[in-house]
Amino acid sequence: MKQYKYNLDKSSKKFVCPKCNKRTLVKYKETETGNYLNEDFGRCDRETNCGFHNTPTGEFNNPFEVVNIPKPKPSFHNFDLVSQSGRNYKENNFIQFLKTIFTETEVKEAILKYLIGTSKRWNGATIFWQIDNLQKVHAGKILQYVSKTGKRHKNEDGKSLIDWVHSILKRTKTINDYNLNQCLFGLHLINESNAKTIALVEGEKTAIMMSIFKPQYIWLATGSKQGFKYENLKPIKQYKIIAFPDKSEYADWFKKATELNILGFDIIVNDWLENTNFEAGTDFADVLLIEKKEAEKNKKHEIIYTDTENIINEFETHTPEIWNLIETFGLVDCNWNEIRKVI
């Protein structure tokens, strides 16, 4: 991979321009370390009114010398690890939580679809495997849930428990090194459908639950707010993508989506949740879950589907393309027997 030794910072961070004193300076960064050079080196965004642009010459002999920074080869897990983790679902807190909401069959289908695993890291912990469209296993994220609530388990200092399969393998000296190169959670599913539209959320749990609430769509997860980025979305560039950010994350994802769309992506960011009064961090599955519980309280079991349709109608207001998504998937009923054959 060829790169310049110094590059103008690609983030949106701006510094005070030494010429016009406005906070419009884009600094130079050393490519290899990502460290900023000092304020003397940068380009002012006010090209016409200021025009300050000082490249890192003088101090450095060859500022734009092309350096080769070999990207470390990504490591992958053996697929056997995934198979071996498909066990002990009675102990798996997340699966037990799902069973309090969905039918046995629905939960089984979700397990098979996303290849959800159980880990011994903590009693009842869950593994979310990141498997790509070429069936390569990029990572195994281990999270601990509370089976009654489906919320993340927090320890005494209020931190959620998280670990990674590669970290455990390193700690136990099973492997020496691992170049983590994450991919979207659920990416392997794009090969199992002819659909051209993908629904993208942040959390693995959200993707899994939404896949049960709305099985006609392919639900993928970025795994984190920062996971909504070019490297992760590259394999789904040719798809129509509808992103459903968690409540209060809309602005960030919208900004990122705008940048990506310039690069040829086709991403729509749905703002339905952002315009509700739910608390920050609420995701779409939380909303459907609240509705389902309300419906059960009222003993009107059919209402959940009615309300879901209402929400879909809300989508339409903000996301006209939702109907493409529904059409695309509505016509293709998931054939579980086929999926089972594949995995």
Sign of the Cα torsion 188, 190, 193, 198 reads: positive
19 touches Zn ion by CB under 5 A? yes
Closest distance of CB 255 from Zn ion, Å? 23
**Among residues 19 and 240, whose Cβ is nearest to Zn ion?**
19
Q: Which span sits near Zn ion by CB under 5 A: 13-21, 80-88, 154-162, 229-237?
A: 13-21
Nearest CA to 165 out of 225, 120, 222 is that of 120
Q: What number of other Cβ atoms are within 10 A of residue 133's Cβ?
A: 15
Cβ 29 vs Cβ 35: under 8 Å = yes
Give the binding range for Zn ion (CB under 5 A) out of 48-56, 135-143, 311-319, 323-331: 48-56
Size of the site for Zn ion (CB under 5 A): 7
42-50, 148-156, 200-208, 289-297 -> range binding Zn ion (CB under 5 A) = 42-50
Give the range of 45-53, 161-169, 239-247, 325-333 binding Zn ion by CB under 5 A.
45-53
Is 336 a binding residue for Zn ion by CB under 5 A? The answer is: no
DSSP E strands: which ranges in 112-270?
Answer: 117-119, 125-131, 137-143, 162-164, 197-201, 218-221, 240-243, 266-269
- Are the C-beta atoms of residues 144 and 152 closer than 8 Å to each other? yes
Interaction between residue 146 and Zn ion (CB under 5 A): no
Smallest distance, Zn ion to C-beta of residue 288, A: 50
Alpha-carbon dihedral 248, 254, 259, 261, rounded to 10 degrees? 150
**Residue 20 C-beta: closest distance to Zn ion, Å:** 3
Give per-residue burial for 181-203: e unless 16+ CB within 10 Å, then b. bbbbbbbbbbebbebebbbbbbb
Residue 44 within binding range of Zn ion, rule CB under 5 A: yes
Out of 16, 50, 112, 334, the residue judged to bind Zn ion by CB under 5 A? 50
Q: Which of 148, 147, 143 is nearest to 160 (CA)?
A: 143
Nearer of residues 26 and 257 to Zn ion, judged by Cβ: 26
Q: What is the dihedral of CA 176, 180, 183, 184, to 10 degrees?
A: 100
Nearer to Zn ion, 16 or 112 (CB): 16
Q: Which is nearer to Zn ion, 17 or 183 (CB)?
A: 17
Neighbouring residues of 103: CB distance < 8 A, sequence distance ≥ 6: none
Distance CA 186, CA 115 (A): 9
Give least dist CB 212 to Zn ion, A. 54
| Least distance (Å) between residue 24 CB and Zn ion | 6
Min separation Cβ 26 and Zn ion, Å: 10
Minimum CB separation of residue 13 from Zn ion in Å reads 15
Adjacent-strand bridge partners of 154? 160
Q: Which CB, 56 or 124, lies closer to Zn ion?
A: 56
Q: Does 26 bind Zn ion (CB under 5 A)?
A: no
Indicate which single residue of 4, 15, 36, 52 sits in contact with Zn ion (rule: CB under 5 A). 52
Report, in Å, the least distance between residue 17 CB and Zn ion.
3
CB 202 within 8 Å of CB 225: yes
**x/- binding map, residues 300-319, to Zn ion, per CB under 5 A?**
--------------------
Q: Nearest 5°: phi and psi at 324?
A: -65, -45
Residue numbers at the binding site for Zn ion (CB under 5 A): 17, 19-20, 44, 46, 50, 52
